[in-house]
Structure 1
Amino acid sequence: MGGKTTSYIVAGLGVVVSLIGWYIRGELGAGILGFGLAHIVLGLLDTARPSVRS
């Protein structure tokens, strides 16, 4: 699996987790939503990082 593929999978899972947090509501839902949003941001930032070939 390539580096960008992994990054997109992480971002996609972040979307799923964010949607779960959105529907739970309350403080727990806000925490889950933030956790998912962090995964989206970090996954998309990882796609912009240059890859290193070994």
Structure 2
Amino acid sequence: MREGMIPTVLGTVVTAASGAALWKTKYKLAATGVLGFGLAHVVLGAIDLIEHR
């Protein structure tokens, strides 16, 4: 498995889950935090994928 694939997939799952589960609730701040956490994983995983070709 390529280095960086796990953080990228994890970030995608977390981002999708937070968008679906928390965004329509009253916990907008928590949803934004989880969304940012997921997007950070996507970005860092993508950097690893590009860096370690």
Q: Same fold (TM over 0.5)?
A: yes
**Structure 2 segments unaligned to the other structure (5+ residues):** none
Higher relative contact order structure (alpha carbons within 8 Å, sequence separation ≥ 6):
2
TM superposition score normalised by structure 1: 0.75
**Structure 1 segments unaligned to the other structure (5+ residues):** none
TM superposition score normalised by structure 2: 0.76
From the CA coordinates, give the structure whose radius of gyration is larger: 1
Matches within 5 A, 1:1-54: 2=1, 5-23=2-20, 24-25=22-23, 26-50=28-52
Runs of 4+ with >4 A deviation = none
Percent identity (aligned): 35
**Structure with higher helix content:** 1
Distance 1:50 1:6 in 2: 7
> RMSD of the TM alignment (CA)?
1.6
